[in-house]
Amino acid sequence: MSKIKQVFAREILNSKGFPSIETTVVLNDGKTGVASCPSGTSVGNYEACELHDNDKSRFEGKGVLKAVDNVQNLIGPNLVGIDVIKQQVIDKIMIDLDGTQNKSRLGANAILSVSIAVAKAAAKVSVLPLFLYLREYIKKENLNLKIPTPAFNILNGGQHAGLNVDFQEFLVIPASSFSYDESLMIANSTYVALKKILKDRGLSTLVGDEGGFGPALENNNEGLALISKSIEQINLRLGFDIFLGLDAAANNIYTDGKYHVKDKNTSLQAMELIAFYQELNSNYKIIYLEDPIVDSDWDSWSEIILKMGNQTIIIGDDLIATNPYRLQMALDKKAVTGIIIKPNQIGTVIEAIAVVEVARAAGLKIIISHRSGETNDDFIADFAVAMSADYVKFGAPARGERVAKYNRLSQIEKQLKNL
């Protein structure tokens, strides 16, 4: 039995230059697990609490020294001596120790960093690649071990790129019939072609938070038109070889009870916004649509499913926030056909797995996602394969913290061939 001997943590910087927590779990046999947490920019209203110091003299109040202290002085001492493969027990201890609904006492960042570090150490003890170790925790009947289809965010907008366009993410999704290696090449070719088009038009090729370009465009339509052009230039067929997706992050385009998009001269009611999405879908084959509607308007979510659900996956990110209660509401209201899973929205590995299981049993598409503020931790790549997720969303096929995950999937693909 390999027992937890020590847990320590430190403050590191994430891809946005702000602090994140990194935790190391040391076992009595000398093995270790190290994990760090990401951080969102467009944070949902129902997410577990990322604990920040609020000390304005450091990192604009975003320091995580309290979370570090919680790991070292509150969580760690309660885990010493426990068998590291008891993930459920360990996560439950942390949930109970926190005692709040949203992990605001200890911090979801503190708790998740320990939870993931424990899983990584336990995988080493079990002499299994992490994705195979994590698979022990799911019901596997009729589920294939495969690399999920990647959705690449090649054009960044909204809060991720200085408000250049309204929608937050413009995604390209190679057909799932392509191998993972082919998908990476397709994503790279599209990314390079888009860069050239932007350059030729005198537009900026600087990138946003998730590695996609962030040019100042006329409107959202122009973003989709430019991406379509880049797809055409590499001789792929939109709607056959490759598809488009959007994360509207609608909470951020909703003010005073209406939606605001540059494409329209006047602000829009939900039904008018849905008509706009339908227009975009008929022109650009939008198979993936995340957070199209604000998180408080369930009726319009149900409506968009009726109008577009047979062609487009309607996905809840901020709507559900990887939260089992919000998921149940979404299922009751038939509001989504897909769910974004971000482990840091809920705060432990076991709870994230439980949300995946419920969503899958309800027939939802499962999308495992990074955050805009990332570290080089590649846990979510293993997690996505372990969960037999349908899609992964790790940003552009560029920038270190994004490709860390894509590269880990390449490695897993090879490991799968040798199983």
Which window, 10-18, 38-46, 49-57, 272-280, contacts ligand PGA (CB under 6 A)?
38-46
Which window, 29-37, 39-47, 129-137, 297-305, contacts ligand PGA (CB under 6 A)?
39-47
Q: Does 369 bind ligand PGA (CB under 6 A)?
A: yes
Return the DSSP state at 48: P
- Nearest-angstrom CA–CA distance, 94 and 346: 13
Q: Does the annotation count 342 as an active-site position?
A: yes
The answer to whether 261 and 166 have CB atoms below 8 angstroms apart is yes
Q: Does 247 bind Zn ion (CB under 5 A)?
A: yes
| Nearer to ligand PGA (CB atom), residue 191 or residue 391 | 391
Q: Which structure tokens are listed for 107?
A: 């911090």
Catalytic hit among 210, 290, 351, 374: 210
| Nearer to Zn ion (CB atom), residue 164 or residue 168 | 168
Among 23, 36, 42, 228, binds ligand PGA (CB under 6 A): 42
Residue 3 in 3-state DSSP?
A: strand
C-alpha distances in angstroms, 226 versus 214, 220, 237?
Answer: 12, 10, 14
Which window, 183-191, 228-236, 275-283, 365-373, contacts ligand PGA (CB under 6 A)?
365-373
C-alpha distances in angstroms, 149 versus 170, 243, 285, 402, 407?
Answer: 16, 12, 17, 15, 14
Cα-Cα end-to-end distance for the chain: 26
Residue 365 in 3-state DSSP?
A: strand
Residue type, 302: S
Q: What values do phi and psi take at 144, rounded to 5?
A: -90, 150
| Nearer to ligand PGA (CB atom), residue 137 or residue 254 | 254
Q: Does the annotation count 279 as an active-site position?
A: no
- Nearest-angstrom CA–CA distance, 104 and 116: 18
Residue type, 271: M
Q: Name the residue with the smallest CB distance to ligand PGA.
A: 40
Which window, 191-199, 221-229, 246-254, 346-354, contacts Zn ion (CB under 5 A)?
246-254
Among 53, 166, 209, 317, binds Zn ion (CB under 5 A): 317
Using CB under 6 A as the criterion, what x/- string covers residues 232-251 for binding ligand PGA?
A: ---------------x-x--
**Of 111, 35, 129, 1, the residue nearest 379 (C-alpha):** 35
Q: Which structure tokens are listed for 64?
A: 């995580």
- Nearest-angstrom CA–CA distance, 341 and 371: 11
- Nearest-angstrom CA–CA distance, 77 and 81: 9
40 binds, among Zn ion, ligand PGA, none (CB under 5 to 8 A by kind): ligand PGA
Smallest distance, Zn ion to C-beta of residue 340, A: 6
371 binds, among Zn ion, ligand PGA, none (CB under 5 to 8 A by kind): ligand PGA
| Nearer to Zn ion (CB atom), residue 91 or residue 317 | 317
Smallest distance, ligand PGA to C-beta of residue 322, A: 11
Tokens 């397709």 -> residue: 186
Among 41, 70, 228, 251, binds ligand PGA (CB under 6 A): 41
Q: Does 156 bind ligand PGA (CB under 6 A)?
A: no
| Nearer to ligand PGA (CB atom), residue 15 or residue 189 | 15
Q: Does 281 bind ligand PGA (CB under 6 A)?
A: no
| Nearer to Zn ion (CB atom), residue 63 or residue 316 | 316
Q: Which of the residues 164 through 223 are near ligand PGA (CB under 6 A)? A: 168
C-alpha distances in angstroms, 309 versus 286, 336, 337, 389?
Answer: 11, 8, 7, 20
Smallest distance, ligand PGA to C-beta of residue 136, A: 28
Quick one: CA dihedral 212, 292, 356, 389, positive or negative? negative
Interface residues toward ligand PGA, by CB under 6 A: 40-43, 168, 247, 249, 317, 369, 371-372
